[in-house]
Amino acid sequence: MTTTHDAPINLAQTSEGAQELSSRDVIAGAERLRELGAVLRLSESEALNAELEQTPDEETMIINMGPQHPSTHGVLRLMLELQGETVLRCKPIIGYLHTGMERTGETLTYLQGPTNVTRMDYAAPLFTELAFSLTVEKLLDIEVPERAVWIRMLMTEMNRISSHLLFMATNGMDLGAVSMMLYGWREREEALRFLQEVTGLRMNHNYIRPGGVAADLPDGWRDSILRLLDMLPPRLDEYDVLMTNQPIWRERLQGVGAISTEECLALGVTGPILRSTGYNWDLRRDMPYMAFDQVDFDVVVGSYGDCFDRFAIRLAEIRESMKIVRQCLEKMPKGDYRIQDKKVTPPPRARIDESMEALIHHFKIFTEGFKVPEGEAYVAIESPRGELGCYIVSDGSPNPYRMHVRAPSFVNLQTLPHLMHGNLLADAVAIISSVDPILGEVDR
Amino acid sequence: MADEAALDGADATDSDATPEVAPEELFGTLLTHSGGQLVLHPSRETYPALLRTLHEAGYFSIIDLCGVDYLTHPGRSGVPASVSTERFEVVVNLINHQQRSRLRLRLQIPADDARLASAFDLYPGTEAMERETFDMFGISFDGHPDLTRILMPEDWPGHPLRKDYDPGRIPVQFKGAPANR
């Protein structure tokens, strides 16, 4: 009888080569997801039957969570299969906020489009407007003036800050840190105040439009931003004291809901969830759009892919966004805030009073809209939740023939069953919160 | 090291993308350019094999999958002459993180046989997207583990994003108009 101790040495010498387990490559990610079977694939009627037919010796049960549950961020509903307090499988059920916005988009002109898409991701409305506008501009084959580009960058980064602050608030609230909710909301309100100063609205701004932005930055915008940039860092340090360095907070999040890079790539997951696994991927740096190749910032990555990493990444991303905002302040060029292309841009208000043609032109643009050449294009940007893409098919008319938005939350929601598998029901709330889904964007 | 590989990869795609007289091909599939974006036109039959090739070539994520109904579209540009156009199209967006490149597949799906092989086996992330395409366009995906409606209620008749689906309309109510309740 040979001793087992010799085995590794002998194995190395066999003709079949080394026998140890090779590291999992990406294809194994898909396989692992299949082995795991974390997704509950039951229709609603089947679930009802399963409940009725339940035999007493069966140890699992199917329960329903949401859509009115306060921690489900709106109207997310989960069908959970539990064994005691452990979640075995789950199925996210969505569609409660479905209002057919992609269909609505087909009936609106390209100029009206941003009004519609801005209501998708209501925590980061400027990003959907931006993705839509960039796609239309790609189809039109126009370049917006440099000032418009930098205004867009400034505004979207401010929006990223407000969106992540909202996450800080809800994440705290979901885990019982109620004071964090108030702090997060307080700071978000300050960020929204700036957005309101520029766009006129706290949310659903309809500010970024094909061809540029709706209005130039108002007087005194620099001071408002500087005030905000001075106010935020000490408050973020407070968050660190309150949450990041606090043992209860860490206990609650560390090691909970972990996911691997391979699984994320197989699921098409992007944004902070992908970065939390240590994968260095940010569209702003890796496939730069607008002028992100001219600003200096770091892409923050985690190492464990757990809830704590996702929290810490978002907190750090606020600081990175502030860096970008500061650079936008310095580099903001002078010039036009929208393209001076008569086809796309309505004439300035003053011209309408003096010129008949300008009045007709203005009327035409707002009633008929401008025509976009036939074709199709897909443009993606990095929203606070991941890759936000817009796919537009044009048939040469003033309305998009098909307008599809690739919503990051919609895809990221697919990680929920895998994150929850084997975790406690109490952690499910932390996990939903750390995915940070916006249901308006999921259901569209 | 990773950066070098990415650079090499980018060079390779650039040289591939040079225009030629003969119909361009990439991965043995017809290739067109749409505003600088690469578009492949595989047939339904070659789609699963193409996905496998793409996965081996480093396209690890299907980032987006959606349907388009071309029923009332006046004409279609960007499709090679040898590809016969059909009513539906399924558009798949893939991403190669190493080479920092994207690829779009446009698949023609006839109306009388609206089905396509599911990409779920290689790309489990397409589960929700294929369900959405099924829900909105009625295109079914063979081999999908749970092809049910995702956004509309389970018992909803019809597929709302089809061009011949009547979305209905609520007339604008002006002041003084008779209320309907």
| Domain boundary assignment for chain B | 24-142
Q: Tell me whether B7 touches chain A (CB under 8 Å).
A: no
Q: Which residues of B touch A103 (CB under 8 A)?
A: 160-161, 167
Q: Are B148 and A43 in contact (CB < 8 Å)? A: yes
Stretch B65-69: mean pLDDT: 92
The pLDDT of B87-96, averaged and rounded, is 92
d(CA A141, CA A28): 41
pLDDT of residue A82: 85
Interface mutation target, options A141, A284, A402, A412, chain B, most CBs of B under 10 Å: A402
Q: What is the pLDDT along chain A (444 residues), one digit of tens a residue?
A: 444 444 444 444 555 555 555 555 666 667 777 777 778 877 777 777 766 665 555 677 888 887 877 777 778 888 888 888 888 888 888 888 888 899 989 989 998 899 999 999 889 999 999 999 999 999 998 889 999 999 999 999 999 999 999 999 999 888 888 888 899 999 999 999 999 999 999 889 999 999 889 888 999 899 999 999 999 999 999 998 888 888 988 888 988 888 888 888 888 899 999 999 988 899 999 888 888 999 999 999 988 889 999 999 999 999 999 999 999 999 999 988 888 887 888 888 888 888 888 888 888 888 888 889 898 999 999 999 999 999 999 998 899 999 999 999 999 999 999 898 888 888 888 999 899 888 888 988
Spatial CB neighbours of A382, under 8 Å, sequence gap ≥ 6: A271, A282, A283, A284, A388
Model pTM score: 0.86
Substitution target in B1, B38, B51, B61 with the highest count of A β-carbons within 10 Å is B61
* Subunit contact A378:B75, Cβ cutoff 8 A: no
What's the confidence (pLDDT) of residue A193?
Answer: 92
Residues in B 68-107 with any Cβ partner in A closer than 8 A: 68-69, 73-75, 77-78, 91, 93, 97, 100, 102, 104
Whether residues B60 and A266 touch (CB distance < 8 A) is answered with yes
pLDDT-based confidence at residue B9 (cuts at 50, 70, 90): very low
pLDDT confidence of residue A161: 94
- pLDDT for A3: 42
Looking at residue A342, what is its pLDDT? 77
| CA-based nearest distance B125→chain A, Å | 3
Q: Which residues of B are less than 8 Å from A34 in CB distance?
A: 124
Q: What does the alpha-carbon distance between residue A295 and residue A322 come to, in Å, rounded to a whole number?
A: 12
Under an 8 A CB cutoff, do A45 and B121 touch?
A: no
Instruction: Give the ipTM of the model, two decimals please.
Output: 0.83
CATH architecture of the domain with range B24-142: 2-Layer Sandwich (3.30)
pLDDT (0 to 100) of residue A356: 87
Whether pLDDT at B35 is above 50: yes
Beta bridge pairs of residue B31: B40
Computed over every residue of chain A, the mean pLDDT equals 86
Cβ of residue A360 closer than 8 Å to a chain B Cβ: no
Which of A33, A279, A378, A421 to substitute to test the interface with B, most B CBs within 10 Å?
Answer: A378
In this prediction, residue B88 carries a pLDDT of 92
